[in-house]
Every structure is written in structure tokens, then in C-alpha cells.
Homo-oligomer: A and B are copies of this chain.
């Protein structure tokens, strides 16, 4: 069982601010899939800040960060999506979950995801969904541990 022991260091989950964009992008870029997709330059491409402004104005989207001792060490985006199915219940979509590579294994991702699940339940959602890449086997086990089921196939077209 020892391999599954996780130290839980308490974090603060708060809304992302414009000055967090660079550290969020650094986390998005810091894995085998993100590396090819992001442009971690200084200064950061304006497209990231433009996207942040759109997110920030959208009442249905919450981009949050995990803060630990004043440092941003994780992020997550929760989208609240209205729909007709399930008697008109909105659903939650969790995206872009990342933890800083030097802070993994401390329960930060778990606290972020639990925050999103509780937030979804508080808002009366009947369903929370996410897509995780086939190759992210550890992530799939992680989500199963937090109560998610591998119920769907996630299909994508990427341009």
C-alpha cells in the first residue's frame, strides 16, 4: 500500500489572476503532450492573455489555481455547461488539470479536483465529466480513486 500514500499539504484554491498566466502556461507545457503545443516564451505570446481575458469574463468558466505558501503550484478549469438532457441539468467539464512537476505526490491535484467536484455538486449539477488522454494512465487511476468512472470514450479532432 505504501506506493499509494499521499502526503496532503493544505493548499488554497482561488480564481486565477492575469499575473498567474505565465506560471499556468509553464505547467501546461511541462509534460510530454503539452511541450509540443505550448509556446513558453518571454514575453509570453499575447494569445494566452487574450484567452485569459475571455475566460475571466465568462461566468460559466472558473479557472482556478492551487496556491501553496504564496506560490501557484497547480491549476484546473471548470466549465458549467447548460444542456437539455437529464431534465435540463447543467453539467460540469473539468479541463487542464496540472500540478507543478516538483510538487507532485503531495495531494495538490486531489484537492483541486475535489474542489471542482464539490463546486459542481453545490451548483446542482448532475454530471461532471472530463477527458484524459489514453496515454495518461496514472491520471485515469487518479480520477478513479476520486470517484470518476471510465464510462465514456473521449474522441477528438485536432487541427
Q: Which residues of A contact B (CB under 8 A)?
A: 21, 24-25, 28, 34, 37-39, 45, 47-52, 54-55, 58, 60-61, 63, 77, 79, 81-90, 93, 95-96, 117, 121, 125-134, 140, 143-144, 147-159
Is A157 a contact partner of B147 (Cβ separation < 8 A)? yes
A151: which of B24, B25, B49, B155 is its contact (CB, 8 Å)?
A: B155
Q: Which residues of B have CB within 8 Å of A86?
A: 37-38
A127 vs B24: C-alpha distance in the bound complex, in angstroms?
20
Is B153 a contact partner of A157 (Cβ separation < 8 A)? no
Q: Which residues of B have CB within 8 Å of A58?
A: 60, 82
Q: Which residues of B have CB within 8 Å of A82?
A: 51, 54-55, 58, 61
A155: which of B25, B48, B140 is its contact (CB, 8 Å)?
A: B140
Is A129 a contact partner of B155 (Cβ separation < 8 A)? yes
Chain B's closest residue to A130 (CB) is B155
